[in-house]
Amino acid sequence: MSEPATNRTKVMNRADLTRRLVGMLDDDAVIGGIGWTNFELWGAGRRPENFYMLGSMGLALPIALGVAIAQPQRRVIALEGDGSLLMQLGVLGTIAARRQKNLLMIIWDNGAYQITGGQPSTTASVVDLVAIARASGLEKAFWADDEAHFETLVDRARREDGPFLIAAKIDDQRPKTTTHRDPVQIRQHFMQGLGVRTDPHAA
Amino acid sequence: MQSAETGDSPWHEIVVETLKANDVRLATYVPDNVLSPLIRGLHADQAFTTFCCTREEEAVGIATGSWMGGMLGVVLMQTSGFATLPNVLASLAVPFQIPLIMIISERGTLGEFNLGQAMVCRTMRPGLDSMGIEHHTIRRIDEVEFFVERTVRQAVSTQAPAALILNPFLTGGKSEKKAN
């Protein structure tokens, strides 16, 4: 049995890693999973290619897969928490079976359902999400050892065919911002950012 | 009324052709016996990207993402699969105004032999109604093209999810085999 991830990975900070990620992007689409995952994405600054979920726990990876299928020339990134991924593990195999080249999954693993009161998730004790991803057929699934390694992996995932999965152990720090909850505005901005929609007044 | 093009085609061929004619290009599904000829037809037609998902929620998420990326999709499922969906419909497809087209094979009525399926079936239409999701039940072959085409077009135009329920009177459904 392999060494537990916590023995070799540094516990990092979600806000810091989100800012580092966003700073590396061009026109990549980003799907922010529910809760503090997408609060931090919102806090990292406005990007027209960002989509913020307001419910539908567990669907960041499926939504990102759909975008990646519709726009194969664009890199698509899903940000998801450990609790959300545990709810929808089957999608890892679906993505692996499709060999979706333009998809990068990033998993923030704090070992807890933090927004509901910090109840421990099974990744705090026994579950290794990267091992599950690899066993689901995702060969390019990695733990980020520290911030520099995270950036190296993101850079590789943006230049090399995926699908890639990068997981990071993170701390329990609260986001400083909250996503503005207007679903139609979020969807419309995202579709404009992807070039699917234009401003009706500009037509 | 059926058009000259569809002629004597079986229901599932009419569905495939009508989806294609109305720019549907992605089909995600959770397998179902009654839907199997439709699933085979979609896989066989290169116009569609068709694949199996592990849960109906996953299939809905994929179709939602693809539409936002510019590709219209349809999700195929059985009645019991629909019963797993209210949370994601109420928190994703409805509030984000996604033209999510669901095709549901109706199980649990007209000859059902499994009480569990019959109970689940009774939750389907009240569930759809409670979320304000337009739904139509297709019972006859001469309804298929019209219902599918108008439902897809309205879903896209009004940016709203919609459900097409395939009744056993159309598909034959699933009935208990009599012992010899």
Q: How far is CA B9 from CA B144, B170, B171, in A?
A: 11, 13, 13
Task: Give yes or no for A191 touching B (CB within 8 A).
Answer: yes
A56 touches chain B (CB under 8 A): yes
Cis peptide bond N-terminal to A163, omega within 30:
yes
**Interchain contact, B97 vs A184, CB within 8 Å:** yes
Contact B55 A93 (CB under 8 A): no
The predicted complex's ipTM stands at 0.96
Asked if residue A139 belongs to a domain, the reply is: yes
Asked if residue A203 is part of any domain, the answer here is: no
Number of domains in chain A: 1
What is the token pair recorded at B15?
């569905």
Residue A93 resides in a domain: yes
Min Cα distance A179 → chain B (Å) is: 15
* Binary contact (A187, B97; C-beta < 8 A): yes
Contacts of A202 (CB under 8 A, 6+ apart): none
Whether residue A93 lies within 8 A of chain B, CB to CB, comes out as yes
pLDDT of residue B2: 47
> Under a CB-based contact definition with an 8 Å cutoff, are residues A172 and A45 in contact?
no
Per-residue model confidence as pLDDT tens for chain B (180 residues)? 444 455 789 999 999 999 999 999 999 999 999 999 999 999 999 999 999 999 999 999 999 999 999 999 999 999 999 999 999 999 999 999 999 999 999 999 999 999 999 999 999 999 999 999 999 999 999 999 999 999 999 999 999 999 999 999 999 998 887 776
Going along chain B from its start, the domains and CATH numbers come out as 11-170 (3.40.50.970)
Print the domain residue range for A88. 5-198
The count of residues in chain B is 180
**Which of B58, B64, B70 lies nearest to residue A94, judging by beta carbons?**
B58
The CATH number that applies at residue A89 is 3.40.50.970
Place of tokens 């929808």: A88
**Is A132 contained in some domain?**
yes
- B62, A98: Cβ pair inside 8 Å? no
pLDDT at B6: 52
Compute the CA torsion angle A14, A20, A24, A25 (nearest 10 deg): 40
Of B54, B70, B98, the CB nearest to A196: B70
Question: B53 and A94: CB-CB below 8 Å?
Answer: yes
**How far is CA A6 from its chain centroid?**
20
Q: What percentage of chain A exceeds 90 in pLDDT?
A: 91
Could you tell me the pTM of the whole model?
A: 0.96
